[in-house]
Structure 1
Amino acid sequence: MKLLLPRSLPAWVLLIVIAGLLAIQVSTLSIVSRERVASNNILDLFRLNDRALSLVKLMYAASPEERKHVAAGLSVAPYVLSISDTPAITASIPADDEMAELEDVIVGRLTKFGVEEARVRRESAQAHERPKHNITEPDDNLGGIERELLDLSADFNKTDTLVASIEFKDGQWLNFVMPSTPLSPILTTDSLPLYGSVAALVVLLSIWSLRRLTAPYRALESAVRRIGDDLKSPPLAERGSSEYKSAARAVNTMQARLREYVEDRELLAAALAHDLRTPLTRIRLRLELLRNSPLRKALMQNLADIEAISSSVLDFATYEAKGEEPERIDFWSLVDSVADGNPQVVFDGSRKHARGLICYGRTVALRRCVTNLVDNAVKYGGKARLALSHGDTEILLTIDDDGPGIPEGQMEKIFRPFARVEASRNRQTGGFGLGLTIARNIARRFGGDVRLHNRTGGGLRAELTIPLAKGAQLHAAQ
């Protein structure tokens, strides 16, 4: 059941609107139908009361024979009229309170015309067979009014009837039948398209309104994603509804504080590297004075480690190329320049099939990303094999090595700063666990990613994905 429910806020609102619309339509039609039944019933009782008054006023002063002649002349289906010595309604007890009240009203109005008693009953259409109207059967040449009259006549033959028996002072009974007013259906072939059109219009307007209402929040979502990739992206525009402006203002404040924090970290790392450079240089000069001392070699190695750590930390803190503007980059040429001149790197890239592999980013940062992945493969696998391909929207660079690989449980852990797999990727083989972290951060900043997989035949495969630049997607896909 949960799988059938919507998962997004606009879908929920739309579902509520549609459900509310259906509930209102159904309840409205139900109320209208009940009101029509009640009003039709009152109208039928009013018509019966008036018909009884007109017939009695016409016949009360006539002789019994004259009444029969008048009744025979006025009787026409379905308004059957007769004069007899016995009532058509044999039971003298009213069927319900409504009929009893109507009988009292009729007797009260017609007492001055010599009426002694009145009986009224309602009979269903299936209770007896009624003669049909004497109206020509419909054909294709009928006009609109005549066709509607025929349809109404047919409806009168299917409705319930009101039967009345009224007794004069001389003992004769006036019996007449009056059909109830037929109820036309609320939904017809003519009205159903109108209801459907109105409902469709409401749904379309709701969808349009929801899209307009949620557009700022979709922009907010994409902006937050962009901030995750590039902390220096432009701030959100603080316009729209008050709720959205408050959310955008909070996001902009968060972004500004994060930028301040990152800049403080970069300044701290740069200051640390600068301040360490002088004492490290002094230590190196003094170690040179030791010449052949047994401690010299060990101290020089320790000093080299300190300098490497300082350089790695500074590189991690300031991996973004400062002052470099994003531009369109020929990714094939960038990868080729990294692989060129390195005998341990094999680039299986055909220039012919790489036309249109244009990405958007910063050249120095992307070069550092590719270089870190290649160096990682060479360092721990002995050789790096590069292959370049593309899909409809992104470029894929695969880098294979013949190293020992990485345990599956540590695939994500290896991307954390200073994380290493101790069995093979340690300080003795070089590096401090920052190369993959920097590579993934750069890739994600430009909308891509870095993933690692253990190859079936042994070794590790690194996959770098970078989005194709706008305008280059169609050309690359051909």
Structure 2
Amino acid sequence: MRWLLPRSLPAWVLLIVIAGLLSIQVSTLSIVSRERVASNNILDLFRLNDRALSLAKLLYAEQPLDRTRIAAGLSVPPHVLTTSDAPAVSSVIPADDEMAELEDIIVGRLSKYGIQEARVRREMPKARPSQNSAEPDQSVGSVERELLDLSSDITNSDTLVASIEFKDSQWLNFTMKATPPSPVLNSDSLPLYGSVAALVVALSIWSLRRLTAPYRALESAVRRIGADLKSPPLDERGSSEYKSAARAVNTMQARLKEYVEDRELLAAALAHDLRTPLTRIRLRLELLRNSPLRTALMHNLADIEAISASVLDFATYEARDEALERIDFWSLVDSIADGNPHVVFDGARHHARGLVCQGQAIALRRCVANLVDNAVKYGGKARLALSQVGGHVLLTIDDSGPGIPETKMETIFRPFIRIEGSRNRQTGGFGLGLTIARNIARRFDGDVVLKNRSGGGLRAELKIPLAGTVKAAAVG
């Protein structure tokens, strides 16, 4: 059952608002219904007391036979009026305290009219065989229809039976229909209640969206910072809670940026400063005679220089200032594949042309080149295909290499991590190509994913948003 519960804060707040609204509505309707029943009951007792007074004043001075005649003339069902030697209410004991008090009030008020005793009871309506309701007559007006409905309700409501005794021991018995309880919800009021509830829910949804909009922006900004640490800082405007959160995120971003820049500068400085002693070592080795030791040292020195160049390149590639522009991705990929005998580009398909993205030309070219070089290095040949998937350009690069274990699909994107164990730059490189390629793709809201092909080999998928679908963040 836990899966039925909402998972977001706005959904929880909305659920609480709706639950509170329903609770208030049900409680209010219940209270109104109870108050209406109590009011109707008091009104019925008042009417019965008033009718008893009217009848006593009219009949107390008459002779028994005249009372009988007058009562017969005034009796109109369902308000029956009769006289008899025995009361219609046979029980002397009142049904409840309320009826006992009413009987005392009637005797007290009517004692000057010769009333010695009063008995009042409430009778439930007798069950009647159900009758199929006839089709409503279209010629009946709205007022007459309401009168007919009210008459039907009164007929089916409780009956108040009262018996009052005159001094001459004659009992006057009369009945009065209780006020029928009208439903709190009916066909007229239900649409109103529903409209009010729908309006409250709609206003709650609108208010919640307005209230949580800054936090959605905060979440989006944090995601953007995760993809690009150099993205613009958050706007510190809004509620005090949001401003505090935005200020904390901006502070965190600034410190992370300083930390990363310090590491980049450190790596760049080390790689740069190593060039001078390496150059001196190379010059001194050139002075040595040809020997196996000199040849081995020259190879080692070349490896050190390549590592130094790679580290410097990796540490400074994000610092280059390059403007954003619209790039024909088909032309970019075609220029990389052109003239390379190890690359096959399936660029003849008509729908692959005209795929324009927005980004930095040099950075994207380097991203594609790194992926192609990786495929050629480990697979011998790279097969490229370009297509459009939704709002993205999709470049697939297939090779026939050994592939990568599934457990290392993400590890391979970390700097200086390679599946090939040697440090020979000819066979394994330095483990920075894929790292740089993915970082560049993510700077423009894209990504690089590796997959093992079912027939053997590895597939690299590069996704870049088409121009106009996503705004690429400015970098530099």
Task: Please give the residue correspondences for 1:360-439 in structure 2 after superposition, counting only pairs within 5 Å.
Answer: 360-422=358-420, 427=425, 429-439=427-437
Q: Is the 8 A contact 2:422 2:428 kept in 1?
A: no
- Asked if 2 retains the 8 angstrom alpha-carbon contact of 1:80 and 1:177, the reply is yes
Q: Distance in 1 between matches of 2:372 and 2:319?
A: 19
Q: Which residue of 2 aligns with 1:22?
A: 22
Q: Which residue does the alignment assign to 1:348?
A: 346
1:96 maps to amino acid: D
Give the Cα separation in 1 of the matches to 2:112 and 2:236: 85
Decide which of 290, 302, 305 is 1:304's aligned counterpart: 302
Secondary structure class of the residue paired with 2:232: coil
Deviation at 1:19, TM superposition (A): 1.4
Residues 250 and 472 from structure 1, CA distance in 2 versus in 1: closer, same or farther, beyond 3 angstroms?
A: closer
Counterpart in the other structure of 1:66: 66
* Secondary structure of the structure 2 residue equivalent to 1:447: coil
Alpha-carbon shift at residue 127 of structure 1 (Å): 6.7
Unmatched 5+ stretches in structure 2 = 130-134, 472-476
Q: How far is the alpha carbon of 1:33 from its aligned partner? A: 0.7
Does 2:88 align with 1:88?
yes
Residue 464 (structure 2) aligns with: 466
For the residue of structure 2 that corresponds to 1:238, the secondary structure is coil
Report the counterpart of residue 209 of structure 1 in structure 2: 207
Any idea what SS the aligned residue of 2:262 has?
helix
Change in CA separation of 1:357 and 1:424 when aligned onto 2, cut-off 3 Å: farther
Q: Which moves more between the two structures, 19-28 or 115-124?
A: 19-28
Residue identity in the other structure for 2:452: N
Whole-Å separation in 2 of the counterparts to 1:383 and 1:274: 34
Instruction: After superposing the two structures, state which structure 1 stretch, 147-156 or 23-32, moved more.
Output: 147-156
Amino acid at match of 2:418: R
1:331 and 2:329 are equivalent in the alignment: yes
Q: Distance in 1 between matches of 2:421 and 2:404?
A: 10
Note if contact 1:401-1:461 (Cα within 8 Å) is conserved in structure 2.
Answer: yes
Amino acid at match of 1:314: L
Partner of 1:168: 166
In the alignment, which residue of structure 1 is the partner of 2:268?
A: 270
Change (3 A) 1:279 1:436: same
Q: Which amino acid aligns with 1:190?
A: D
Assess if the C-alpha contact under 8 Å between 2:99 and 2:121 holds in 1: yes
Q: Name the TM-score, length of structure 2 as normaliser.
A: 0.94
Contact 1:403 1:460 (8 Å CA) reproduced: yes
Q: 1:169-201: CA deviations, max 9, x gaps?
A: 100001000000011111111111111111111
Identical aligned pairs, as a percentage? 80
Partner of 2:447: 449
Residues 86 and 171, structure 2, Cα contact 8 Å, conserved in 1: yes
- Counterpart in the other structure of 2:191: 193
Separation in 2, partners of 1:90, 1:448 = 93
Counterpart amino acid of residue 108 in structure 2: G
How much has 1:339 moved relative to structure 2?
A: 1.1
For 1:303 and 1:372, locate their aligned partners in 2 and report how far apart those are by CA, in whole Å: 24
Whether contact under 8 Å (1:321, 1:365) holds in the other structure is no
Determine the structure 1 residue equivalent to 2:474: none
d(CA) in 2 for partners of 1:188 and 1:143? 20
1:138 to 1:362, Cα distance in 2 relative to 1, 3 A: closer
Q: Which ranges of structure 1 fall in alignment gaps of 5 or more residues? A: 130-136, 474-478
Tell me the amino acid that sits aligned with residue 122 of structure 2: R
CA distance in 2, matches of 1:100, 1:152: 30
Aligned residues: CA RMSD? 2.0
> How many residues are treated as equivalent by the alignment?
466
